[in-house]
Amino acid sequence: MKLSHGRAVGLMLLVTLLWSTAGVVTRQLEQARSFEVTFWRSFFTVLTLLVLLPVFKGRAVFARMQHGGAALWLSGLCWCGMFTFFMLALTLTTVANVLVTMALVPLFTALSTRIFLGHQIAPRTWAAIVVAGCGIAYMYGTHLAEGFSVIGTLVALGVPISGAANWTITQHSHAQGKNVDLIPAVLVGGVLSSLLTLPLAWPLQGSGHDVWLLAGLGVFQLAIPCVLAVVCTQALAAPEIALLGLLEVIFGILLAWLGAGEVPGQNVLVGGALVIGALVANELVAWRQRA
């Protein structure tokens, strides 16, 4: 599938909108909680990818996965972490807190590649890391002063940590002349997440209403947009995708506000503005320098 630049931008806007629906949909659940929420979403993601992968990658995609090497399976493990931590965090803290924390993936990736791969970090990125860190500290520091539980925060931090590990593994693999196919890695992550959370979710208590909602998340919030995002990488540069991906935070907070009455507090708005502003400034400068 070949896209023009304009159509790729439009498609990425749709992708971020689909990604952002997880929070508001989770707030509509009746009985499913915690690990069961994660299990059903991952399970339906796997079913969807088993159909989509042969369409986008050809029928031989599953045979090629057998030769993906350690990088494919390590990437799948990281996807598993992102899937699991993200949905668990949504059951423990607000949608806004989870999304703003998740937006730290680019900065965590910069730190990870510096530590493990020896990549240099530009001064602008160090500045962005400091500003974003201040935003996170302000956002959660206000909660902690009010007796806020740290569990939701720690679980949410598992998302950018897993994401940073994933991109570091991918970059290392590319440097070694081996390419990691990200969509099969997503499938591996979904399978691992399902197998990990099913015993913890048993006995399943979600109503039929809950299962339908979580099936929708697996299909339309995760599997389809992940495939479309990879298609967009053919026409968009990495900084463009990073910038457009940040819209998930804005869309997600707005949807949770409008659809679930989850009004973001001042601490989230101020801290989130610092995080997003630092990321946008960092990516814009990088984009101009590359241009």
Chain segment 174-233, per-residue pLDDT in tens: 777 777 677 788 899 999 999 999 999 888 888 889 999 999 999 999 889 988 887 787
Tokens of 153: 């925060």
DSSP secondary structure code for residue 118 in this structure:
-
| 145, pLDDT greater than 60 | no
Return d(Cα 108, Cα 92) in angstroms, integer: 22
Evaluate whether 215 touches 44 at the Cβ level (below 8 Å). yes
Return d(Cα 248, Cα 83) in angstroms, integer: 16
Q: pLDDT, tens digit, for every residue of 146-178? A: 545 578 888 889 988 998 888 888 778 777 777
| 144, pLDDT greater than 60 | no
Average of per-residue pLDDT across 14-28? 90
What pLDDT score was predicted for residue 189? 92
- Banded pLDDT at 290 (limits 50, 70, 90): low
- Banded pLDDT at 1 (limits 50, 70, 90): low
Alpha helices by DSSP H, the chain:
5-19, 22-26, 34-57, 61-65, 69-90, 95-102, 105-117, 123-145, 151-175, 182-201, 208-216, 224-232, 238-245, 247-260, 266-290
What pLDDT score was predicted for residue 143? 57
Evaluate whether 16 touches 244 at the Cβ level (below 8 Å). yes
Q: What percent of the chain has pLDDT over 70?
A: 93
Domains in the chain: how many in total?
A: 1
> Bigger pLDDT: 17 or 97?
17
Mean pLDDT taken over the chain: 82
| Domain limits for position 169 | 5-290
- DSSP string over 170-193: HHHHHHTT----HHHHHHHHHHHH
DSSP secondary structure code for residue 122 in this structure:
-
What pLDDT score was predicted for residue 288? 76
| 258, pLDDT greater than 90 | no
Q: pLDDT, tens digit, for every residue of 49-77? A: 999 888 877 778 887 887 777 888 898 99
- Banded pLDDT at 21 (limits 50, 70, 90): very high
Which segment, 76-80, 170-174, 258-262, is predicted with the most confidence on average?
Answer: 76-80
| 138, pLDDT greater than 90 | no
> Bigger pLDDT: 120 or 214?
214
What pLDDT score was predicted for residue 213? 93
What pLDDT score was predicted for residue 39? 93
What pLDDT score was predicted for residue 147? 45
